[in-house]
Amino acid sequence: MQRPCNAKIVATLGPASADRSTIEALVRAGADVFRLNFSHGTHADHQQRLALIRSIEADVGRPIGVLLDLQGPKLRVGTFAGGPVKLVEGAAFRLDLDRDRPGDATRAPLPHPEIFAALEPGAELLLDDGRLRLRVRQAGPGFAETVVVNGGLLSDRKGVNVPGVVLPLSSLTAKDRADLDFGLTLGIDWVALSFVQRAADIAEVQALVQGRAGIVAKLEKPAAIECLEEILAVTDAVMVARGDLGVEMPAEQVPAIQKRIVRACRRLGKPVIVATQMLESMVSAPVPTRAEASDVATAIYDGADAVMLSAESASGRFPVEAVAMMDRIIAQTEADPHYRAAIEASHTQPAANTADAIGWAARSVAGLLDVAAMVAYTSSGSSALRMARERPRAPIVGMTPRRETARRLALAWGVYPVVCADVTDVDDMTERAKAAAVSLQFAAPGQTIVIAAGMPFGTPGSTNLLRIAQID
């Protein structure tokens, strides 16, 4: 069972999609990767859902990826003595570390010394997803005197964002470390890291993961956008977390930032997921708004590897319909003649290295000979990703002896992962590649395929061979 689309779908599991029949229906509707959101649910919940995914994977006969999304640091105000308080524009408001004293209309506890350590006069704090805005007048090691810029009601434990300030915080909390260790023992394929501010945050989680999963950097803070190239150099993939990004940055800047991130990831050949509020109205309605359909299509026209559903599939009333709708939008967009023109127009030159040269050459051969399929033999997934970077017209078959690699490739644009036995020589490789292309119904007798591999076989990162073969 293979989807005919190039762009992939990431679906979040939750209360609305916790049973086997619903998860299988999501797969058959078009989900390629499942997101386990560790901000919600217990370890037992996630373990059960992952076991169901693996069982369904065996039934449908194609690798399915699993992404563990870490919660990250949650910055929140404390509690209020008499319930919600009203902050009035122009009024003074104090934040401090005194968590034992409930807040009122003039002050609130903020039990995060890291925030106070980074604040300077003129800095702004956003409360309750940006609905309230404070400007710092004076700050010290354990307090901040602010003025209310945008007022409103403030209640217990609402979130705090500090745009434009790099906070002296690790992206990994104690909870994240426990969740990560648990997820790795279960065999998850990708880890999404929240609260990324700098490249060092990626290095911290890589030291714990040690290659057992791919790292997805969630770009949701202005500091991360400022050092985008450094983060992209070390991460395995990226998520454009538009919800949080839209809180800390002006909403009108987010579309351009999204396009910038997608272009940068495509240039480097690293998978990029566009996420948050894509079909938000389908949480409660069986159809999306026309604007939401256009939003998904825009990400596809830009060449994103994947688009993601959050509450739509996790807690909404129509999880299967949301995945099916996203699948139809992708298929319709990719069938548009302007889609291929947009992909070609946004293509960038490859890097001057052997792997990119092979990927570029395979794309050139595929275009010249009108090949039926492109096959990448890969141990680590690198060969298939180099092909995917080129966004070819022909489907990419990612053949690997490692099931974990096949599952990671479920996230990559245009790649159809296949688990195969180790090959022994070039002739064996060619015959297996032809058989796979025919089995997937990509190629028929008389048609041509292109094969890329690395020699010696089984050596990660050694892509150095390109072969053209005809189906007998």
Q: Which residues are catalytic?
A: 35, 76, 218, 276
Nearest to 330 by CA among 2, 32, 9: 9
Structure-block tokens of residue 28: 């058959």
Nearest to 32 by CA among 14, 53, 55: 53
Query: Which amino acid type is present at position 450?
Result: V
CB 162 within 8 A of CB 115: yes
**128: alpha, beta or left? (left if phi > 0; alpha if psi -120 to 50):** left
Nearest-angstrom CA–CA distance, 217 and 469: 38
Nearest-angstrom CA–CA distance, 345 and 422: 38
In eight-state DSSP terms, residue 351 is P
Query: Which amino acid type is present at position 439?
Result: S
Nearest-angstrom CA–CA distance, 17 and 311: 10
Nearest-angstrom CA–CA distance, 148 and 133: 6
Nearest-angstrom CA–CA distance, 162 and 122: 12
Longest dimension (CA), the chain: 80
Nearest-angstrom CA–CA distance, 34 and 279: 17
Return the beta strands (E) in 338-420 as ranges.
373-377, 396-400, 415-419
Measure CA 180 to chain center.
17
CA angle at 387 for the pair 385 and 393, rounded to the nearest 5°? 130
- Burial status of residue 425 (CB atoms within 10 A of its CB: 0-12, 13-18, 19 or more): exposed
CB 411 within 8 A of CB 275: no
> What are the φ/ψ torsions at residue 369 (nearest 5 degrees)?
-100, 0
Nearest-angstrom CA–CA distance, 371 and 368: 8
Q: 94-132: b or e for each residue (b if 16 or more CB lie within 10 Å)?
A: bbbbbeeeebeeebbbbebeebbebbeeebbbbbbebeb
